[in-house]
Amino acid sequence: MARQVAHEIKNPLTPIQLAAEHLARVHADRGQPLGGTFDQCIRTILGQVRLLRQIASEFANFAGEPAWHPEWLNPADLIEAAVAPYRLGLSGTVVIEVDANGRLPRVRVDRTLFVRALTNLIENAIQAMPQGGALRVSLRVEAGHVVFRVSDTGVGMAAPDVSRAFEPYFSTKTGGSGLGLANAKRSIEREGGTITLTSAPGQGTTVTVSVPLAVAPLDGPATATTPSQ
- In which element (H, E) is residue 18 found? helix 13-29
Amino acid at 181: L
- Residue 113 predicted with pLDDT over 60: yes
- Furthest-apart CA pair in the chain: how many Å? 64
The residue that leads in pLDDT, 69 or 141, is 141
The rounded distance, in Å, linking the Cα atoms of 56 and 52 is 6
Q: Are 60 and 3 spatial neighbours (Cβ–Cβ below 8 Å)?
A: yes
Band of pLDDT at residue 220, cut at 50, 70 and 90: very low
pTM of the predicted model, to two decimals? Answer: 0.66
- Residue 85 predicted with pLDDT over 70: yes
Degrees to nearest 5, angle at CA 24 with 43 and 15: 80
Q: Over the chain, what is the mean pLDDT?
A: 80
The rounded distance, in Å, linking the Cα atoms of 189 and 178 is 18
pLDDT for residue 63: 60
pLDDT in tens, 158-202: 999 888 888 776 666 655 556 678 878 888 888 888 999 999 999
